[in-house]
């Protein structure tokens, strides 16, 4: 194969193109049809032009008008076929491109869902959103037009060069020189464009991220009169984007006029020299006419190509960013232990049940199962949780939890108290496998939670997390988020248990009241009650509540507590609470300080010990 010297594509462009081709390959039949139709349409136009030569030489110059009519009709028919083919491939291409874009969007969504929390800790929402908006959009633009257009340009260029060679080899040399010049120029600007477009996309993502953050934090911005400072910070980003866009645009905009000028020059030179050829008898008039039309046309594929190259480059940098995000390491989940509904037979043997039985067991595959024996073991779901010497840090340099050992059996209520930042929330996040411990292990009913499939682990735990979130939808939808098949009755009971029922009933549309933008139309305490109801509806054996009632008045908190106690009999409960009154009746209370458990025991034991808990309780020390 011929190798073009000095022609080197950036490595990642090739990779991105390969990834894109992967998506296109699924539509190879449709794309094949597009290619065929493009060939027909372009071929018709090239041949139609060639017919100018006989039209002039054989019919117009000899004044054969009857023959002229026929050949003009023939040309018309040919162009008509071309138009129909164009119509056909445009429609097919629209369908294919939208399908591909939908597939990419779907994959991006799935991959985003699978990303570990660590990833979200390190990226702004706006930055991630811009993958779905700008990047997918630029790719969309390119897919709609580029594939067919680039193919067409290539066929057109190849056809045109072939035809001018047929018409006059000598004259063609001029055109070829110009085409080479244009190609070199287009390549040169294309390379720079690519860099500028990439810079532009990055700047755009930056500004989007900033605006997103400003909008979601606007209350805080107002409270602290931060408008001016934020505006200044915005201006910096705006300026970066302006510069990057100006460069990208200026560079891409100068390409086409330059190519157009070159092509006009080419046309003029060809016309003059062609005229001399005709006078010298080296060429006939019909041939020159057709030839000059080809010369004019030769700039068109070049222009289209340049135009599309810019769209394509923007799209490629977009695609690169999309694929980069898709390639981010997803949450690790090599768990092979699953949670299944079970029935117990008379002989005490568990069997898997098809439907919901209210009882669950872990299905643990046995690695060294002997021949003939069942290759898995059933462990009833009980809610025994153990931390074995767990150490963890969000970043390697900073340890957040040190050597945590704890033991929770089903039916027990464990409480964590300690100053803000002591690591209480982190304990719950590890149990949920939002993050993985750096050392030590966590077991659930004796099984290392690393072995449990994440979905099943999380299904077996119910969490009221500290920064809860309400989704756009009705109140009932938001409660049912805890278990999608919960009946209206169950939703209502959960709400009653969480003491949310009374305020919900007072709302104009009751359970059908719509919530928008994280439940902004509710009070903080009401949102917490809904979060508790959501956890209550899911009925798992382990419940964790992270400062779940911090914004609720003490009387309501008491009521919730008694309701929950009823619900959580023989279930394991982790409570993190600010008010020590809420943890008094816990089976064991852990006092955390700087990521270590410094005291543990029941309320009475801890009071007798006269340590940190005693100080907190008697008010000689405060929870900060
Ligand atoms: N996502 C995170 N990334 C990095 N550090 C974190 C993250 N979440 C919490 N931390 C740090 O971990 C420590 C413990 O936090 P946390 O468990 O939330 O405390 P608590 O719930 O006891 O108030 C704090 O010092 C906090 O700065
Ligand atoms: Mg916390």
pLDDT 10s digits, 217-226: 888 888 888 8
Q: pLDDT (tens digit, 9 = 90+) per residue, 275-312?
A: 999 999 888 999 999 999 988 888 788 777 777 777 77
Closest CA to 531 of 554, 552, 548: 548
Output the residue whose Cα is nearest ligand 1's atom 7. Answer: 394
Which pLDDT belongs to residue 301? 81
| 428 compared with 538, residue with greater pLDDT | 428
- Asked whether the predicted pLDDT for residue 40 surpasses 70, the reply is yes
Q: Atom of ligand 1 at shortest distance to CA of 416? A: 22
Q: Atom of ligand 1 at shortest distance to CA of 394? A: 4
CA 526 to chain centre: 32
Which pLDDT belongs to residue 4? 28
Q: Atom of ligand 1 at shortest distance to CA of 118? A: 1
Q: How far apart are CA 265 and CA 144, in angstroms?
A: 32
- Asked whether the predicted pLDDT for residue 548 surpasses 90, the reply is no
Q: How far apart are CA 55 and CA 67, in angstroms?
A: 9
CA of 595 to the centre of ligand 1 (A): 10
Which pLDDT belongs to residue 297? 81
Six-digit token pair at 91? 């429609």
Q: What is the average pLDDT across 591-601?
A: 92
Under a CB-based contact definition with an 8 Å cutoff, are residues 135 and 322 in contact? yes
Output the residue whose Cα is nearest ligand 1's atom 4. Answer: 394
Q: What percent of the chain has pLDDT over 70?
A: 96
Q: What percent of the chain has pLDDT over 90?
A: 32
Under a CB-based contact definition with an 8 Å cutoff, are residues 227 and 139 in contact? no
Which residues make up the environment of ion ligand 2, defined by Cβ < 5 Å?
425, 466
Q: What domains can you pick out in the chain, each with its CATH number?
A: 11-327 (1.20.1560.10), 338-380 (no CATH), 385-618 (3.40.50.300)
Q: How far apart are CA 252 and CA 481, in angstroms?
A: 49
> Which is it for strands 338-344 and 350-352: parallel, antiparallel or unpaired?
antiparallel
Output the residue whose Cα is nearest ligand 1's atom 25. Answer: 421
Under a CB-based contact definition with an 8 Å cutoff, are residues 363 and 353 in contact? no
Q: What is the average pLDDT across 230-234?
A: 92
Output the residue whose Cα is nearest ligand 1's atom 14. Answer: 423
Output the residue whose Cα is nearest ligand 1's atom 5. Answer: 394
Q: What is the average pLDDT across 374-388?
A: 86
Q: How far apart are CA 113 and CA 256, in angstroms?
A: 42
Helix (H, G, I), strand (E, B) or coil at 67: helix
CA of 316 to the centre of ligand 1 (A): 38
Closest CA to 470 of 530, 523, 510: 530
For the chain, give the number of residues. 624
- Mean pLDDT over the full length of the chain: 86
| 351 compared with 290, residue with greater pLDDT | 290
Q: How far apart are CA 288 and CA 56, in angstroms?
A: 10
Distance (Å) of CA 230 to CA 125, 309, 357: 17, 37, 55
- Per-residue pLDDT band at 110 (split at 50, 70, 90): very high
Under a CB-based contact definition with an 8 Å cutoff, are residues 586 and 593 in contact? no
Q: What is the average pLDDT across 573-581?
A: 86
- Asked whether the predicted pLDDT for residue 253 surpasses 90, the reply is no
- Asked whether the predicted pLDDT for residue 463 surpasses 60, the reply is yes
| 120 compared with 621, residue with greater pLDDT | 120
Q: pLDDT (tens digit, 9 = 90+) per residue, 11-28?
A: 478 888 888 889 999 999
Q: pLDDT (tens digit, 9 = 90+) per residue, 131-151?
A: 888 889 888 888 887 778 888
- Per-residue pLDDT band at 371 (split at 50, 70, 90): low
Under a CB-based contact definition with an 8 Å cutoff, are residues 171 and 277 in contact? yes
Q: How far apart are CA 73 and CA 213, in angstroms?
A: 64
Q: How far apart are CA 485 and CA 483, in angstroms?
A: 6
Six-digit token pair at 335? 């768990």
CA 130 to chain centre: 9
- Per-residue pLDDT band at 591 (split at 50, 70, 90): very high
Which pLDDT belongs to residue 128? 84
- Per-residue pLDDT band at 558 (split at 50, 70, 90): confident
CA of 586 to the centre of ligand 2 (A): 19
Q: What are phi and psi of 440, to 5 degrees?
A: 80, -175
Q: Specify the pTM.
A: 0.75
What would you report as the CA-atom Rg of the chain, rounded to the nearest whole angstrom?
36
């Amino acid at each position: 194969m011929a190798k073009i010297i000095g022609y080197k594509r950036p490595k990642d462009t090739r990779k991105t193109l390969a990834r894109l081709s992967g998506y296109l390959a699924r539509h190879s039949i449709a794309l094949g049809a597009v290619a065929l139709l493009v060939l027909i349409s372009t071929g018709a136009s090239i041949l139609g032009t060639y017919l100018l030569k006989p039209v002039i030489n054989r019919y117009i110059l000899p004044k054969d008008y009857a023959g002229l009519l026929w050949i003009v009709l023939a040309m018309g028919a040919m162009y008509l076929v071309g138009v129909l083919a164009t119509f056909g491939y445009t429609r097919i291409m629209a369908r294919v491109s939208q399908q591909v874009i939908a597939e990419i969007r779907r994959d991006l969504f799935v991959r985003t869902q699978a990303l570990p929390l660590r990833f979200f800790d390190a990226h702004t929402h706006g930055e991630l959103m811009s993958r779905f908006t700008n990047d997918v959009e630029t790719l969309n633009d390119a897919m709609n037009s580029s594939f067919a257009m680039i193919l067409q340009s290539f066929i057109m260029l190849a056809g045109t060069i072939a035809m001018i060679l047929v018409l006059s080899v000598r004259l063609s040399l001029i055109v070829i020189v110009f085409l080479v010049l244009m190609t070199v120029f287009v390549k040169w600007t294309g390379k720079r464009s690519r860099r500028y477009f990439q810079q532009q996309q990055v700047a755009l993502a930056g500004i989007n991220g900033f605006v997103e953050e400003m909008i979601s934090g606007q209350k805080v911005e107002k409270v602290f009169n931060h408008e001016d400072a934020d505006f200044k910070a915005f201006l910096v980003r705006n300026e970066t984007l302006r510069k990057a866009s100006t460069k990208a645009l200026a560079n891409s905009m100068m390409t086409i006029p330059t190519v157009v000028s070159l092509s006009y020059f080419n046309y003029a030179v060809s016309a003059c020299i062609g005229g001399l050829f005709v006078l010298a008898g080296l060429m006939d008039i019909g041939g020159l006419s057709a030839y000059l039309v080809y010369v004019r046309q030769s700039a068109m594929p070049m222009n289209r190509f340049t135009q599309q190259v810019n769209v394509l480059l923007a799209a490629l940098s977009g695609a690169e960013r999309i694929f980069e995000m898709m390639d981010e390491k997803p949450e690790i989940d090599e768990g092979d232990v699953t949670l299944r509904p079970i029935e117990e037979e008379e002989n005490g043997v568990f069997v898997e049940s098809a439907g919901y039985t209210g009882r669950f067991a872990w299905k643990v595959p046995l690695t060294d199962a002997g021949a003939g024996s069942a290759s898995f073991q059933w462990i009833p779901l009980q809610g025994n949780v153990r931390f074995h010497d767990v150490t963890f840090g969000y970043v390697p340099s900073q340890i957040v939890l040190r050597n945590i050992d704890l033991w929770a059996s089903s039916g027990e209520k464990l409480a964590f108290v300690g100053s803000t930042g002591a690591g209480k929330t982190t304990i719950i996040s590890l149990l949920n496998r939002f993050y993985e411990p750096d050392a030590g292990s966590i077991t659930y009913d004796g099984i290392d939670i690393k072995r449990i499939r994440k979905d099943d682990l999380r299904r077996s735990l119910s969490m009221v997390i500290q920064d809860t979130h309400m989704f756009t939808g009705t109140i009932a939808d938001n409660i049912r988020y805890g278990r999608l098949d919960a009946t209206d009755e169950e939703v209502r009971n959960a709400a009653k248990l969480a003491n949310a029922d009374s305020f919900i009933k007072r709302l104009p549309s009751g359970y059908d009241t719509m919530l928008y933008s994280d439940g902004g139309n509710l009070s903080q305490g009401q949102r917490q009650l809904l979060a508790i109801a959501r956890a209550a509806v899911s009925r798992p054996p382990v419940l964790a509540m992270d400062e779940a009632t911090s914004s609720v008045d003490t009387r309501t908190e008491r009521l919730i507590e008694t309701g929950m106690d009823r619900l959580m009999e023989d279930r394991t409960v982790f409570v993190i609470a600010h008010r020590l009154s809420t943890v008094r009746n816990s089976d064991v209370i852990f006092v955390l300080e700087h990521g270590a458990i410094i005291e543990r025991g029941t309320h009475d034991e801890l009071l007798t010990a006269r340590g940190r808990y005693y100080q907190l309780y008697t008010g000689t020390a405060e929870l900060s």
